[in-house]
Amino acid sequence: MVSTQALWAGRLLSGLAILFLLFDGLIKLPPLEIVTATMKELGYPTTDSFARFLGIVTLACTALYAWPRTALLGAILLTGLFGGAIATHLRIGSPLFSHTLFGLYLGILVWGGLWLRDERVRRVIPFLFR
């Protein structure tokens, strides 16, 4: 059993991750000029359909993460998404701590929030507070 404070801390961490990912996914749907310009810098196609596809994938994974019954699946899928972002930034030589490792920071936020709010995850990954 985890304390009420830890449970709320997990909800807060997860909420922050969800809000960021919702923003990230939603700005790709119109898609905005900044999205296509950034995709060009990253070496990806700058078509509206590709941007929308990335937005839909991000939103779908985020929805799975936000729903308690599917949060573990959502976290796993988001981890893959973050890994792709890290690989992209490594490939183009982005700054390490601000760009390349940002996916790692989000992954820690996602998994830390899930670990604090879900007993099943704590049973599988029992490394803190034991």
Calpha distance 20→103 (Å, rounded):
12
Distance in angstroms (rounded) separating the CA atoms of residues 130 and 128: 6
* Cβ count within 10 A of residue 82: 19
Between CA 67 and CA 106 the distance in angstroms is: 18
Tokens of 109: 């936020």
pLDDT given at position 41:
95
Termini Cα distance of the chain: 11
Structure tokens at 14: 């997860």
Confidence (pLDDT) at 34: 94
pLDDT tens for the chain, residues 1 to 130: 678 998 999 999 999 999 999 999 999 999 799 999 999 999 999 999 999 999 999 999 999 999 999 999 999 999 999 999 999 999 999 999 999 999 999 999 999 999 999 988 988 888 765 5
Q: Domain ranges in the chain?
A: 4-124
What local confidence, expressed as pLDDT, does residue 19 receive? 98
CA distance linking residue 22 with residue 10, whole number of Å: 18
Q: Global pTM?
A: 0.92
Map tokens 């700058």 to a residue.
46
DSSP string, 59-76: HHHHHHHHSGGGHHHHHH
